[in-house]
Structure 1
Amino acid sequence: MAARNNKTQYGWMAIALHWLMAPAILGLFALGWWMRQLSYYDPWYRQGPELHKGIGILLLGLLLFRLLWKFLNPSPAAESGTPRWQAVAARLTHGLLYLLLLAIMTSGYLISTADGRTIDVFGWFSVPATIQGLPNQEDVAGQVHEILAWSLMALVALHALAALKHHFIDRDATLRKMLGMGARRIAAHTDHPSQDTLTTTK
């Protein structure tokens, strides 16, 4: 499998970026929700946020690289027979997912740097506080962060349901492309009937 996308399937780079980011996004949401339940004396009261921020910064780097890769490697065309409104809705959903992720990470950055402290990323490097001192910065950014995070989860659920619809109802190659099972393999399956099919038609 090539690294770059083509007209019919995703390259391994796009597939790897998708499946690296998907569990990280869900994990960060779960971690953020769990952190809100911790008491001040819980040992994870400080460790949880540090882990959340470190993974968040790394995820931001992956997101920026993914956007660059997407710009240089357009996604495969929609499956033939897909209604135009579905193709447009898919593009809008993907665009909104990227915008929400950027907005969530920006608000998280504003929360973490409101007091002027840098963000330490597992001792590997630090991200400086370039924006601070805004009115009620931590509280406002915190509220925005939470609202956007729940909005993202709703959109992720919609995205997953759409993928399952394509796979189980429409029976097209949309989901299989992102699993590395390219359209050519599906075409080969449909173009060459199985022995069982040939037997029943004799």
Structure 2
Amino acid sequence: MALKNSASSYGYIAVGLHWLVAAGVLGLFGLGIWMVDLTYYDSWYKTAPDLHRSIGVIVVTLMVLRLVWRLANPPPRPLASHSFWERRIAHLAHALLYALVISMFFSGYFITTAKGQALYVFEVFSLPAIITDVEGLEDVAGVIHEWVAYTIIAIVCLHVAGALKHHFVDRDSTLRRMLGMTPKKV
């Protein structure tokens, strides 16, 4: 496998960014589900949200890098086994995932900074609050954050189902390419 994508396979960078973002998104979802039920007296009450925010900044940074890499280094051409509608659905799902992960960052950012406090990233640096005068911003951002999180997970489930369909039903190289494996010859 090469560093860059080729006409028939993904390169190390595309594969690595894909799986790092996937792991981050799933991890953040699990952490988010778990931490909303913590009580004030739980030892993770402050630590879990700090960790969630910091990892969220890393994930959105990786997602932006992934988008830039995709624009500068186009993905391999679709396999001949992919129908027109499968290609269209895949493009729509990818576009939605990019947009939704980036919108998750902004909704999380506004939850954190709505009252004027900065968003600290692993206590190494902070992102300052830029919009603080909007009444109810934290609540609206919280609702958006929750809905977008579940929407992302729904699209991820469809994405995984599609990859598994290609692998086990169509028996093509779709999944193998994103795992960094050599596409099988047909």
> Same-fold call, TM > 0.5?
yes
Report the Cα offset of residue 182 of structure 1. Answer: 2.4
2:76 alignment counterpart? 76
Matches within 5 A, 1:133-144: 133-144=133-144
CA distance in 2, matches of 1:62, 1:12: 14
Q: Is the CA contact 1:118–1:128 (under 8 Å) kept in the aligned structure 2? A: yes
Matches within 5 A, 1:132-171: 132-171=132-171
1:43 is aligned to 43
Post-superposition CA distance 1:108-144 (Å, at most 9, x none): 0000101111111112211111122212010010011
The SS at the match of 1:171 is: coil
**Farther-moved stretch of structure 1 (173-182 vs 74-83):** 74-83
Q: Which residue of 2 aligns with 1:88?
A: 88
Unaligned runs of 5+ in 1: 191-202
1:180 aligned counterpart, secondary structure: coil
2:181 alignment counterpart: 181
Larger CA Rg, structure 1 vs 2 = 1
1:77 is displaced (CA, Å) by 1.2
Question: In structure 2, how many angstroms separate the alpha carbons of the residues matched to 1:23 and 1:81?
Answer: 28
Q: If the length of structure 1 is used for normalisation, what is the TM-score?
A: 0.89
In 2, are the aligned partners of 1:107 and 1:144 still within 8 Å (CA)?
yes
Letter in 2 for 1:131: I
Contact 2:81 2:172 in 1 (8 A): no
User: What corresponds to 2:63 in structure 1?
Assistant: 63
In 1: Cα distance, 2:41 partner to 2:48 partner: 13
Task: Give the CA deviation at 1:106.
Answer: 0.7
Gaps of 5+ in 2: none
* 8 Å contact kept, 1:54–1:122: yes
- Check whether the contact 2:28–2:56 (CA below 8 A) recurs between aligned residues: yes
